Amino acid sequence: MKLAYWPGCVSRGFTPELHGSMELVAPKLDLELVELDRANCCGAGVIAEHNQELVDTLNARTFAMAQDVEGAAGMMNICSTCQGAQSECQERLDADSAYREHINSNLDAEGLSYERDGAWWNKNFLWLVVEEIGLDTLREKVVRPLEGLRVAPFYGCYIVRPTRRLGFDEHPERNRYLDMLIEAVGGESVHYAGSHKCCGFPVITMARTTSLRQAGRHLADAIDAGADCVVTPCPLCHLNLDLQQPEAVKYVERDLGMPVLHLPQMVGLALGLEPDELGMDKHVVKTTDVQRKVAELAGA
């Protein structure tokens, strides 16, 4: 399947292991990724906060570029925040034809135009695996079932709310895709309070206590529920849950030490890729225990 691919900023910035692992996983799933290398930041909610017309124009630009990729089935992103921020713009662009025309006029100079098309889509890797590839197909491709690995799903706000905007009416199961995917690769999905809550990243510079209490609390809940690791489709969540985890410890006053995987890393492990290839050494919280468990699986 050929896809217009928008990796987002952070996957090429502070979480390079995400971009890297996605590139390795794609061919194993028969995905041909055409990276949108001229596309801009989705705005991450911040540009939307600043100026709605601006963010709608910027994302219409990305969509237009994706629509220009010949033979692409659709557009894929690998970041919950990109998904949410872009869906918000797409909702407005699709809702009102006069508004869409107005936004497109901002793109005239570049010869770009976003066309409303019910069949065109922009999906996070998570949605894409479940809806376009199919969990049965994925199961067939698994060479290393993650049996016995207890994985706590962490979705990220932008990919689960608001449900109406994110197409949950049509796909109500999107609320539990990550759990389903964990099970499909042989792992055990761990239920805990924080799976659909906020990692706190958006306010890390503005309300540090709120931010790190959130991250710390969800990690603690995952630990208490007996998880071996957390997995997330959102690199921003990853920053707060992994990079900031040693700081979060101070706000929940308990030890944490919970490894946090990117979704393509977990899928990659199941598809037979090695932890090193997937950049699992590039985490702040060591993934050694997860790696050992996986190695044991391979040995078994």
Partner 1 sequence: MAEAQDFTLKIRRFDPESGEQAHWQDFGVELDPDRSVLDGILQVKDREDASLAIRCSCRAAICGSCGVRINGKSALACNTRLSDAKQTASNGAITVEPMGNMPVIKDLIVDMDAVHWKKIQRVVPWLLPEGEPPEREYIVPAEAMIDVTQSMACIQCGVCVSACLSLEVDPEFIGPAALAKAYRFVGDPRDDHTEERLRDLAEDPHGIYDCTHCFACIEVCPKDVAPMSQIMRLRRRATADFGIKDSNNGYGHEKGFVDIIEKWGTLHEAQLLPRSFGQGSAIRGQVEPDAVKQLLRDMPTALRGLRAGKITPKKALMHPKLPGQKNVRRIFEEVEGKKERLELNLYIVGDDGDQAEGAQAEGSGES
Binders in 18-37 for partner 1, by CB under 8 A: 37
CA distance 279 to 276: 5
Q: Which of 198, 261, 263, 269 binds partner 1 (CB under 8 A)?
A: 198
Q: How many residues bind partner 1 (CB under 8 A)?
A: 71
CB of 99 to partner 1, least distance (A): 4
* Residues 111-150 contacting partner 1, CB under 8 A: none
In the set 158, 195, 219, 222, which binds partner 1 (CB under 8 A)?
158
Q: What would the two tokens of residue 230 be?
A: 């957390």
Residue number with CB closer to partner 1 (28 or 99): 99
Residue of the chain from 281, 289, 292, 295 that contacts partner 1 (CB under 8 A) = 281
CB of 140 to partner 1, least distance (A): 30
**Complex with partner 1: residue 133 or 252, whichever CB lies closer:** 252
Q: Which stretch binds partner 1 (CB under 8 A): 23-31, 49-57, 222-230, 270-278?
A: 49-57
Of 23 and 94, nearer to partner 1 (C-beta) is: 94
The contacts of residue 191 (CB under 8 Å, 6+ apart) are 225
Residue 221 sits in the site that holds partner 1 (CB under 8 A): no
**Of positions 69, 139, 142, 210, contacts partner 1 by CB under 8 A:** 210
CB of 77 to partner 1, least distance (A): 13
32, 96, 117, 173: which one contacts partner 1 (CB under 8 A)? 96
Task: Evaluate whether 285 touches 216 at the Cβ level (below 8 Å).
Answer: no
Measure the CA angle with vertex 261, ends 260 and 267; round to 5°. 155
Q: In the complex with partner 1, which residue's Cβ is closer, 50 or 292?
A: 50
